[in-house]
Amino acid sequence: MCARPTPSIVVGGGDTRLDSEAMRPLPRHVLVHSDGRRLLVYGELRGSLDEEGAGAAGEGAQIHKRLDVFTEAWVGIAPARNTRPLDSPAAAAGPERCPFCPGGVEVPFSYDAAVFDNRFPSFRPHPPPAPLLDGPTGPAQGRCEVVLYTDRHDASFGELSAVELARVVAVWIDRGRELWADPAHSYVCIFENRGAEVGATIAHPHGQIYALDHVPPLTAARSEAHRRHRRREGGCLSCAATRADDRSGRVVSANESFVVAVPFAARWPFEVAVRARRHGLQRLADLVPEEQRDLAVALHDVARRYDALFDLPLPYMMVAQEAPHDQPDWHLAFELYPLHRAPGATKIRASVETGLGLFLNDVAPEDAALQLAGLDVPVEPIELDSLFTVTQPDAAMLS
């Protein structure tokens, strides 16, 4: 068993307690494109939207859901996504072509961070009626948002400054709180696809949020696993798993509020889970300031370790796993799934994984953890007083 690693990012010294009212205010300005899509600007508002806006969103008349009767899982059908801009290797898109850069079609001015309704969504707040077909269908109810981490095109999550990183976490909290409060939403997922290899068509640093009208199948299965554990063992599955990870040789970096480790049964090479220690920390909105800081530290650290692993901008998928409405034992977690198993070699989700759901991992979790924990990555302080809390000015609604 390897020794417990030391932190690669330090936090500010002194008083480690900070009342949320003492956090830095982050204004949120709400603008509306001519096609009705919202643009949320966080921080200083430095411009306005053109009256003609970004052009009408994709028609979306064909979007709907179809039920797979063998798995009872919904499948989203969204043909308009084929018309998305820059549907090519993300690295080919420079700032002059990027729709997310200042002056682009989505945000025509400079900004600190921004969120907007996706022009090519798979789910809509007011979807068209589901078509009548030869199987079960449903309307594509929900919301798809794009989260712009910064207006700097040549950056990545691991290259964000401490202030930018704290701002992004505050934006996640704000969007999650609002979307979870909508009774039309049964589940909310914040995620990032980094790199063309995992489907990112635009290189500008950004993530996405899907709010769904149903609980997706993997989430439902995990929720049921928590219920079974509670019935059989009389305790919390997430608490037990977090303690086991913390005692193992799979820890990647030390963190007071989160266990950062390669999962025991990792499906992807160098997969990492950042899971909350505290029982009751179920969603981003439950974070206290110290946990908000520690989450930023942990995710920043993992992203930097990934880029150092093979000395390349490592493509990955990052998914926030927040608690569904009916699962009090669930601990907030972020899971990161990189594709590379070696320099120049990626894991392909092939027939057995796709057809059977049986994953085959070419890298032992303990070996992956040793490699990640042994990397020397840059150290950057993140002070408690650099954290943000979102405020909403009364005069924010512009058109």
CATH of the domain at 125: 3.30.428.10
- What is the pLDDT at residue 55? 52
HEC assignment per residue over 349-380: CCHHHHHHCCCCCCCCHHHHHHHHHCCCCCCC
Percent of the chain with pLDDT over 90: 79
Token reading at 372: 């990640």
Which residues, other chains included, contact 384 with Cβ-Cβ below 8 Å and sequence gap of 6+? 11, 12, 15, 16, 18, 289, 290, 293
Residue 15 lies in a domain: no
Average pLDDT rounded to a whole number, residues 238-247: 98
Residue 14 lies in a domain: no
33 a catalytic residue: no
Residues comprising the chain, all counted: 399
How far apart CA 351 and CA 70 sit, in angstroms, is 18
Angstrom CA distances, 369 to 3, 10, 253, 264, 306, stand at 11, 20, 9, 10, 12
Q: Which of 206, 226, 229, 331 is catalytic?
A: 206
Q: List the domain range (segments joined by +) for residue 112.
A: 20-391
Average pLDDT rounded to a whole number, residues 72-81: 90
Percent of the chain with pLDDT over 70: 87
Residue 52 lies in a domain: yes
Residue 200 lies in a domain: yes
How far apart CA 87 and CA 170 sit, in angstroms, is 30
Residue 396 lies in a domain: no
- What is the pLDDT at residue 20? 62
Q: How confident is residue 320, by pLDDT bands cut at 50, 70 and 90?
A: very high
Vertex 88: Cα angle to 87 and 90 (nearest 5) = 105
Residue 398 lies in a domain: no
**Are 209 and 182 in contact, with CB atoms under 8 Å apart?**
no
How far apart CA 116 and CA 35 sit, in angstroms, is 12
Q: How confident is residue 4, by pLDDT bands cut at 50, 70 and 90?
A: very low
Average pLDDT rounded to a whole number, residues 49-70: 75
Residue 7 lies in a domain: no
Judged by DSSP in three states, 305 sits in: helix
**Are 211 and 182 in contact, with CB atoms under 8 Å apart?**
yes
Q: Which of 93, 177, 144, 156 is nearest to 308 (CA)?
A: 156
**Domain count within the chain:** 1
Answer whether residue 337 shows pLDDT above 60.
yes
pTM of the model: 0.91
How far apart CA 177 and CA 193 sit, in angstroms, is 22
Residue 159 lies in a domain: yes
- What is the pLDDT at residue 19? 60
